[in-house]
């Protein structure tokens, strides 16, 4: 079976070595030695000034919204994983969708201003498949209307834009360390900000609001990463350059051998160091996509309709029509992409795609 992705497992002895440290310390949670070490190593690798690592990638969005949104309207994208929109609704805010760019697949910055009302408090935009939004335009709009900017950068581990970490953009950026991501801690995530005061709020918010064991800065929740999760991260991190390199080779092989007469892939924004996190293929019609998907499934290959459906169509959002997002969502399929994918498997995938499109 060839799935759309496969978790990278470091050598078990290297994971056990990290786990042994937790056993030796007799410390499993509350920001132990492994969590602190992982944060420092991630700061160095990502070239960021700060990071707060968390137990998953969704709760940083909820914390950021809780601090920055004031229960208002949040401008967001309909083409993303449901976590962002669900976090908006969960925090008693209202998602206001803006359609996407048909090639970059990120929120169309030229349509944001028309969606702003006196209730708008923030923009929550997704760097889709690791492809950056037009961050300069979004920043200009945010400054003009006094809005906060939160980036869902779940797919963006290692991505740089204009030689700067993508996590350095926006008031808050978040990342996922889920098992399906390039860098993972099994489950996990992180949040980033360059605002010292906001970082303080993010930090205490992820630990019940604590100010020491007996006092509190304010309201908080439990978003702390455990030592067991950090152990996995410390075992995976030494392999991250290899992971990205191997995925790059697969992407380049797809690019060189897929017949692009009836399909196209993601257009990466200029000045971007991309991380090869996903390989979306966009078909002319949903019918052609479903035909190829069936052919692959019949051969025990399982790509994913990612992202589907367009989030403005799900029951609890009741959003306006988003014609580009709805169209792309109906026609996009992410191909298998992971380190252990063999050449003969790639050749089989591509042959099935190309022959199905004839």
Q: How confident is the model over 120-126, as a mean pLDDT?
A: 98
**pLDDT band for position 263 (50/70/90)?**
very high
| Residues 34, 230 contacting (CB under 8 angstroms) | yes
Which domains can be identified in the chain, with CATH numbers? 3-238 (3.40.640.10), 239-356 (3.90.1150.10)
| DSSP letters spanning 261-304 | TSEEEPPPPTTEE------EEEESSHHHHHHHHHHHHHTTEE-B
Q: How confident is the model at residue 303 (pLDDT cuts 50, 70, 90)?
A: very high
Of 70-84, 126-140, 209-223, 284-298, where does mean pLDDT reach its minimum?
A: 209-223
The predicted pLDDT at position 318 comes to 79
d(CA 210, CA 21): 26
Task: Specify the DSSP element, H or E, that contains 211.
Answer: strand 210-211
Tell me how far CA of residue 214 lies from CA of 26, 28, 69, 194, 209, in angstroms. 23, 21, 28, 28, 11
Instruction: Compute the distance between CA of residue 50 and CA of residue 84 in angstroms, rounded to an integer.
Output: 22
pLDDT band at 358 (very low <50, low <70, confident <90, very high): confident
Which of 30, 16, 59, 56 minimizes the C-alpha distance to 227?
Answer: 30
- The pTM of the full predicted model, rounded to 2 decimals, is 0.97
Residues paired with residue 74 on neighbouring β-strands, in sequence order: 95, 122
Mean pLDDT of 309-315: 96
The span from the CA of 194 to the CA of 84, in Å, is 21
% of the chain surpassing 70 pLDDT: 100
Q: What does the pLDDT read at residue 214?
A: 87
| Residue/partner pairs of 285-294 with CB below 8 Å, 24 or more apart | 285/331, 286/330, 286/331, 288/262, 288/331, 288/357, 289/330, 289/331, 289/332, 289/333, 291/356, 292/333, 292/352, 292/353, 292/356, 292/357, 293/333
For 354, list phi and psi in degrees, rounded to 5: -65, -40
Type and span of the H or E element at 329: helix 323-331
Average pLDDT taken over every residue of the chain: 97
Pairing, β 120-126 against β 2-3? unpaired
Q: Helix, strand, or coil here: 102?
A: coil
Residue 309 pLDDT more than 90? yes
Distance of CA 50 to the CA centre of its chain: 18
Give me the mean pLDDT over the 241-250 stretch.
98
Please give the pLDDT value at position 300.
Answer: 98
First to last CA, the chain: 25
The per-residue pLDDT for range 136-163, each reduced to its tens digit, is 999 999 999 999 999 999 999 999 999 9
Interval 58-79: pLDDT, tens: 999 999 999 999 889 999 999 9
Average of pLDDT values for 206-220?
91
Give residue 352's pLDDT band: very low, low, confident or very high (50, 70, 90): very high
pLDDT in tens, 169-188: 999 999 999 999 999 999 99
Confidence check: pLDDT of 48 > 90: yes
Q: Residue 3 contacts by C-beta under 8 Å, 6 or more apart in sequence? A: 302, 336
């Amino acid at each position: 079976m060839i799935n759309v992705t496969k978790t990278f497992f470091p050598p078990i002895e290297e994971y056990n070595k990290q786990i042994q440290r937790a056993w030796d310390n007799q410390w499993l949670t509350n920001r132990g030695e492994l969590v602190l070490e992982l944060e420092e190593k991630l700061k160095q690798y990502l070239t960021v000034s700060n990071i707060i690592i968390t137990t998953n990638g969704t709760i940083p969005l909820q914390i950021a919204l809780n601090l920055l949104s004031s229960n208002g309207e949040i401008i967001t994208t309909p083409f993303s994983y449901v976590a962002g929109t669900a976090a908006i609704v969960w925090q008693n805010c209202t998602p206001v969708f803006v359609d996407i760019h048909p090639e970059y697949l990120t929120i169309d910055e030229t349509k944001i201003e028309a969606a702003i009302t006196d209730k708008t408090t923030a923009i929550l935009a997704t760097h889709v498949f690791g492809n950056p939004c037009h961050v300069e335009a979004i920043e200009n709009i945010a400054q003009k209307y006094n809005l906060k900017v939160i980036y869902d950068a779940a797919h963006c581990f290692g991505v740089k834009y204009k030689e700067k970490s993508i996590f350095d953009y926006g008031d808050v950026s978040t990342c996922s360390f889920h098992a399906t991501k390039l860098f993972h801690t099994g489950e996990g995530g992180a949040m980033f900000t360059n605002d010292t005061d906001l970082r303080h709020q993010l930090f205490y918010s992820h630990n019940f609001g604590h100010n020491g064991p007996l006092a509190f800065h304010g309201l908080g929740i439990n978003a702390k990463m455990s030592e067991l999760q950090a152990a996995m991260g410390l075992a995976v991190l030494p392999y991250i350059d290899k992971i990205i390199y191997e995925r790059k080779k697969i992407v380049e092989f797809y690019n060189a051998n897929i017949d692009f007469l009836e399909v196209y892939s993601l257009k990466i924004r200029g000045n971007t160091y991309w991380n090869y996190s996903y390989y979306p293929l966009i078909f002319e019609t949903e019918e052609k996509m479903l035909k190829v998907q069936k052919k692959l499934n019949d051969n025990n290959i399982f790509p994913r309709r990612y992202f589907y459906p367009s989030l403005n169509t799900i029951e609890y959002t009741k959003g306006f029509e988003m014609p580009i997002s709805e169209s792309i969502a109906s026609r996009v399929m992410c191909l298998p992409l992971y380190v252990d994918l063999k050449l003969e498997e790639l050749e089989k995938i591509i042959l099935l795609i190309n022959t199905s499109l004839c």
